[in-house]
Structure 1
Amino acid sequence: MSRPAQSRYQHRAGANCESACLRNALAAQGLALEEEVVFGLDGNIGFALFEREGPEPDLVVGRQTIFPGQALRLLGCSVQAQQRTPLSRLRQWLAQGEVVVARVDLAALPHHATLEGASAPFGGYFVNLCGQLPPLNSDGEGEFLVSDPACAELLRVPVDQVQQARLSSACPPINPNGWCYVLGGGAQAPALERLGPAALAQSAREMLRPALKQQGCSGLLQLQRRVAQWPELKRGTLPPPPGSPGLPRWPALTWQLRALGSAIELWGTGGGLFRPLWTRFIERVAQALPDPALNAAATHIARSAQAWQHMGQTCLSLTPSSSAEALRHTLNEVQRLLSLLIPEERLALEHLAQADVRARRQHLAGGPP
Structure 2
Amino acid sequence: MPEVKFEPFLGEHCESTMLVNLLRQQGIDLSEEMVFGLGMGLGYIHWQAGAMPFPFLGGRAKPDMLAENLSAVLGVEFDVRATASAARARDNALAALTAGKLVGLKLDHYYLEYFREKRVHFHAHYATLYKVEGEDAWLVDTKGGGGGGRTSLASLDEARAAKGPMSSKNLSLTVKEGAALDGLRAQLADKLASAFFVALAANAHTYLNPPIKNMGYKGVLKTSASVGAWLDEIADPAESLPIIAMLMERAGTGGGLFRKMYGRFLQQGQSLTGMAALGVAAREFDAIAARWTEVAELIEEAGRRGKRDALAQASRLLAEISQRERAQLTTLETLARQAGAPALA
Provide the TM-score with structure 2 as the length reference: 0.86
Q: How big is the shift at 1:210?
A: 0.9
1:161 alignment partner AA: S
d(CA) in 2 for partners of 1:119 and 1:110?
A: 14
d(CA) in 1 for partners of 2:124 and 2:30?
A: 23
Q: CA separation of 1:111/1:314 partners in 2, compared to 1, >3 Å: closer, same or farther?
A: farther
1:19-54 CA-to-partner distances (Å, cap 9, x unmatched) read 111111111122222110111101121001111447
1:202-230 CA-to-partner distances (Å, cap 9, x unmatched) read 11111110122211111111111121232
Taking the TM superposition and a 5 Å limit, the aligned residue runs for 1:68-217 are 68=65, 69=67, 70-84=69-83, 86-112=89-115, 114-115=116-117, 119-134=119-134, 142-149=135-142, 150-169=144-163, 171-172=164-165, 174-185=166-177, 186=181, 187-188=184-185, 189-190=188-189, 191-217=191-217
Q: How big is the shift at 1:317?
A: 5.4
Q: 2:48 is matched with which residue: 29, 47, 51?
A: 51
Q: Which runs of 5+ in 1 are unaligned?
A: 135-141, 236-251, 364-369
Q: What is the identity percentage for the equivalent residue pairs of Structure 1 and Structure 2?
A: 23
1:263-315 CA-to-partner distances (Å, cap 9, x unmatched) read 22222559614110010001111222233542332233222111112222444
Mean alpha-carbon deviation: is it higher for 10-19 or for 270-279?
Answer: 270-279
1:323 alignment partner AA: R
**Does 2:275 correspond to 1:285?**
no
Q: CA separation of 1:74/1:332 partners in 2, compared to 1, >3 Å: closer, same or farther?
A: same
Q: CA separation of 1:228/1:270 partners in 2, compared to 1, >3 Å: closer, same or farther?
A: closer
Q: Which residue of 2 aligns with 1:348?
A: 328
d(CA) in 1 for partners of 2:96 and 2:257?
A: 33
Q: CA separation of 1:55/1:159 partners in 2, compared to 1, >3 Å: closer, same or farther?
A: closer
Q: How big is the shift at 1:119?
A: 2.7
- The structure with the larger Rg is 1
Q: Which residue of 2 aligns with 1:246?
A: none
Mean alpha-carbon deviation: is it higher for 217-226 or for 184-193?
Answer: 184-193
Q: CA separation of 1:268/1:343 partners in 2, compared to 1, >3 Å: closer, same or farther?
A: closer
d(CA) in 2 for partners of 1:129 and 1:292?
A: 40
Provide the TM-score with structure 1 as the length reference: 0.81
Question: Is residue 263–residue 286 contact of structure 2 (8 Å, CA) maintained in 1?
Answer: yes
Q: CA separation of 1:60/1:294 partners in 2, compared to 1, >3 Å: closer, same or farther?
A: same
Question: Is residue 80–residue 174 contact of structure 2 (8 Å, CA) maintained in 1?
Answer: yes
**Across the two proteins, how many residue pairs are aligned to each other?**
326
Q: Which residue of 1 aligns with 2:245?
A: 261
1:160 alignment partner AA: A
SS in 2 for 1:181: strand
d(CA) in 2 for partners of 1:53 and 1:79?
A: 34
Q: Which runs of 5+ in 2 are unaligned?
A: none
1:152-200 CA-to-partner distances (Å, cap 9, x unmatched) read 545111001011111112x32x124311111123143253332112211
Question: Is residue 105–residue 176 contact of structure 1 (8 Å, CA) maintained in 2?
Answer: no
**Does 2:318 correspond to 1:338?**
yes
Q: Which residue of 1 aligns with 2:224?
A: 224
2:150 alignment partner AA: R
d(CA) in 2 for partners of 1:106 and 1:43?
A: 24
Q: Which residue of 2 aligns with 1:240?
A: none
d(CA) in 2 for partners of 1:111 and 1:318?
A: 31
Question: Is residue 106–residue 119 contact of structure 1 (8 Å, CA) maintained in 2?
Answer: no
1:293-345 CA-to-partner distances (Å, cap 9, x unmatched) read 423322332221111122224444577xx332xx3243123213212211110
d(CA) in 2 for partners of 1:31 and 1:281?
A: 17
RMSD value over aligned CA atoms?
2.4
Q: 2:24 is matched with which residue: 22, 27, 49?
A: 27
Q: Which residue of 2 aligns with 1:13?
A: 10
d(CA) in 2 for partners of 1:328 and 1:288?
A: 46
Q: How big is the shift at 1:110?
A: 2.6
